[in-house]
Structure 1
Amino acid sequence: MSRRRFLKQASAVAGGAAAAALASTKSAAQELAAEPWEKIYGAAFTAYGERSRFEQPVIRHIFTPYGGIAPGSGAALSPIEALEGTLTPSGLHNIRNHSGTPEIDPARHQLVVHGLVERPLKFSIDALSAYPMVSRIHFLECSGNSSRAVTPKPAQVPAGAMHGNIACSEWTGIPVRVLLEEAGVKPEAKWILAEGADSAHMSRSVPMEKILDDAMIALYQNGERLRPEQGYPVRLLLPGWEGNMNVKWLRRLKATATPTYTKDETSKYTDLLPDGRAMQFTFEMGVKSVITKPSSTMTLPRQGLYEISGLAWSGAGRIRRVEVSTDGGATWRDAALTGDERPKAFVRFRLPWEWKGGEAVLASRATDERGRVQPTRAEWTSQYAPANTYHYNAIVTWAVGTDGKVTHVFA
């Protein structure tokens, strides 16, 4: 949203006086004095850029359910409440590991393509790096993201500690179909088993349709080689599908006639239903949004004009609409969407709002290009058994008290 558009909307919301307060006055500009740093020569170049010393460190929320017994099993959640824009810095990207991050020597690592193929192939990282590449921007979301919202009482933690098992990056690599065409996939091959080189040998079965559509062998993230925690030296990327299927430290792709039903897709990542059955293979992530500013554990310091801002995404494609409510869903207003509205990627939404000191309940509701609308909490919970915590995409609500404190509430 441009500054002019924001001020125009702000004027409509809060009146011209409040909007004008955002701008510098002519007299203030005339009084601008030279600061000490304007009078001395600046610092020399550095080999790798760092944040300003005046900025507080922005770090991930670490979740290790087994503590010191298995410190590498758990998750590191992106601090979405502290970030702006739609791209996540590589060092703040979410992580979900089952057995820690392996230290892999790229000179020794190989990717094997085998199974129901005419020509089994083995690729070194150098060989993969010689292929023509493509770059795409996509989100990665753990299927267990927002599981802390599936609790009897609202958790009072920052937005990222609850909804931050997701991030959005630019990924660069090779379309998987290129390697499969080279190997010659047999007609009876309908699935691909993807397996990682971590000590847990994380593995998932992927339908061939997805593999031949937009699956990628990713070697780079945000312009740099993958970081170890993101699958260095090579990972599978399945845009819009649940995070665990985007197998890191990829070591083999096996073409099969049926799903392999590995431990990672039978012991976990299934949705429990009210009738006692379990629904398997929920691959695509649902339409979802969350307000990141203001959000849980924050405090509004004073009455006045604020910008409600957040993120929206859908595993089905593009976000077409985000509505924002400040009265718990009684009324809704369309927010402005910023960015290129790419498919299966973050979209930032923004809406000016005047807080007059009273109680408010903030919520956002996203609609994707298929027409799917983000469900209410009641609608989502009615579909699953109480113990189910996967694929939660219900509307998130934050309450603003008269003291300006923002808390998580169910509405």
Structure 2
Amino acid sequence: MAAALGMLPGERVLAGDELRKPTWMTTLGGADIAYGSPSPHETAVQRRQQPVTPQTAGFSIWHSPLQHQRGIITPSGLHFAVHHNGIPDIGPERHQLLIHGLVERPLKFDLERLARYPMVSRIHFLECAGNTAPNALSPTAMKADCQELFGQLSGSEWTGVPLSYLLREAGVKPAAKWVICEGADGGSHSRSLPLAKLLDDAMVALYQNGERLRKRCTRCACPSARLG
């Protein structure tokens, strides 16, 4: 019993082997590259796309390979994604955030202006409302790996401008209670959120894991929000 609870032993070193140097310790190594990439031995660690049909063109779901990850941060390139209307190609100089409606001063922000505001960084997990749905709806348990069953879940460090700064600058009117957050994709995908929640801890995220968001866009990061 004591042996079973102990640590697994390492491989025994034979006499003389501890002094024998492998080739990579006696030759010059390869060159580095300007932007680091995963090891070529990790090519199997990729997101996996759910099957797409002609009826679901533009709607794609990419699952994160949870079974190959450790720790709490998902690399940006492996973060799960759900695209309802494809990915819009907007130049960073044309991307804008508009605040209007029940406000005293409708405001428009470009990425350069947003970058001038004080920012905060937080680690948040993001999970799709449809995560595990195929297994839950199946009459019998699915025979699938962790990625296929639970891959719509990822964790990242998000950095951006607290939305409360921008809303207060716009001068929210007392009658305002809810906010419609509308995306810039082909279907103007939108969700409504309570104003009080957005004023509390939501942010306009500009960075993910220390890098500018892919496609140089912005995202509304709202902790603890449940969106169907």
The TM-score, its normalising length taken from structure 1, stands at 0.52
Distance (Å, rounded) in 1 between the aligned partners of 2:16 and 2:159 = 48
Give the match for residue 108 of structure 2: 122
Q: Is the 8 A contact 1:134 1:173 kept in 2?
A: yes
Aligned length: 226
- Aligned residue among 180, 183, 186 for 2:173: 186
Distance (Å, rounded) in 1 between the aligned partners of 2:158 and 2:14 = 45
- Aligned residue among 46, 59, 74 for 1:88: 74
- The Cα of 1:56 is off from its aligned counterpart by 3.9
- Superposed CA offset, 1:20-57 (max 9, x none): 433355x4586222101110111122111122233342
Distance (Å, rounded) in 2 between the aligned partners of 1:97 and 1:51 = 25
- Aligned residue among 71, 93, 101 for 2:87: 101
Give the match for residue 146 of structure 1: 132
Give the match for residue 57 of structure 1: 44
Across the aligned residues of Structure 1 and Structure 2, the Cα RMSD in angstroms comes to 1.9
Distance (Å, rounded) in 2 between the aligned partners of 1:121 and 1:55 = 45
- The Cα of 1:69 is off from its aligned counterpart by 4.7
Distance (Å, rounded) in 2 between the aligned partners of 1:29 and 1:213 = 64
Structure 1 residue identity aligned to 2:223: P
Distance (Å, rounded) in 1 between the aligned partners of 2:41 and 2:16 = 26
More strand by share: 1
- Superposed CA offset, 1:147-204 (max 9, x none): 0221111111111111111110000000000001111111111111110000010011
Query: Is there any run of 5+ residues in structure 1 with no aligned partner, and where?
Result: 1-13, 246-268, 270-411
Distance (Å, rounded) in 2 between the aligned partners of 1:22 and 1:47 = 40
Distance (Å, rounded) in 1 between the aligned partners of 2:89 and 2:176 = 33
Runs of 4+ in structure 1 deviating by more than 6 angstroms, as ranges, are none
What SS is found at the alignment partner of 1:86?
coil
Q: Is the 8 A contact 1:145 1:166 kept in 2?
A: yes
- The Cα of 1:133 is off from its aligned counterpart by 0.7
Structure 2 residue identity aligned to 1:233: C
Distance (Å, rounded) in 2 between the aligned partners of 1:105 and 1:53 = 31
Distance (Å, rounded) in 2 between the aligned partners of 1:112 and 1:226 = 19
- Superposed CA offset, 1:281-314 (max 9, x none): xxxxxxxxxxxxxxxxxxxxxxxxxxxxxxxxxx
- Superposed CA offset, 1:353-407 (max 9, x none): xxxxxxxxxxxxxxxxxxxxxxxxxxxxxxxxxxxxxxxxxxxxxxxxxxxxxxx
What SS is found at the alignment partner of 2:93?
coil
- Taking structure 1 as reference, are residues 129 and 206 closer, same or farther at Cα in structure 2, changes over 3 Å only? same
Give the match for residue 227 of structure 1: 214
Give the match for residue 31 of structure 1: 17
- The Cα of 1:209 is off from its aligned counterpart by 1.6
Matches within 5 A, 1:236-247: 236-242=220-226, 245=227
Distance (Å, rounded) in 2 between the aligned partners of 1:28 and 1:241 = 58
More helix by share: 2
Greater RCO (CA < 8 Å, at least 6 residues apart): 2
The TM-score, its normalising length taken from structure 2, stands at 0.92
Query: Is there any run of 5+ residues in structure 2 with no aligned partner, and where?
Result: none
Give the match for residue 9 of structure 2: 22
Give the match for residue 315 of structure 1: none
